[in-house]
């Protein structure tokens, strides 16, 4: 065994592994960029105007979430829209106004459903 030849081969193998790692990193980065672009193009922009009704996403941590319970609260009325993405909404029952992130809202198109009922009337 020649230690110089073995050492030289070992360095070549390490360089080859480093090239594979760099190529894998580059491929993963390209994949993520392409995937983000694809998903970003499919996001529909939501424009909220004062006076319109919206639903608020309920994002509290629940240990035992109900399967059929809605995760949306509301309806609320948009009071003011800020330029940085925050929106002031007003509760229609208590008339309390508070700010929320605009990404937690969606437009409300329907009529109010009483979610406190325990049974369905025929």
Indicate the pTM of the whole model.
Answer: 0.59
Please, which pLDDT band fits residue 74 given cuts at 50, 70 and 90?
A: confident
Give the chain's mean pLDDT.
88
Cα 41 from Cα 46, distance rounded (Å): 14
The pLDDT tens digits for 46-66 are 899 999 999 999 887 666 666
Q: How far is CA 101 from the centre of its chain?
A: 12
CATH number, span 53-107: 2.30.30
């Amino acid at each position: 065994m020649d230690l110089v030849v073995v050492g030289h081969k070992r360095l070549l193998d390490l360089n080859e592994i480093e090239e594979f790692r760099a190529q894998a990193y580059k491929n993963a980065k390209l994949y993520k960029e392409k995937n983000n672009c694809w998903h970003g193009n499919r996001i529909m922009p939501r424009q909220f105007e004062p006076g319109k009704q919206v639903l608020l996403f309920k994002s509290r941590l629940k240990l035992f979430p109900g399967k059929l319970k809605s995760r949306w609260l509301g309806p609320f009325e948009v009071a003011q829209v800020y330029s940085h993405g925050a929106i002031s909404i007003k509760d229609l029952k208590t008339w309390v106004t508070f700010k929320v992130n605009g990404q937690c809202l969606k437009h409300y198109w329907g009529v109010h459903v009483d979610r406190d009922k325990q049974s369905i009337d025929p």
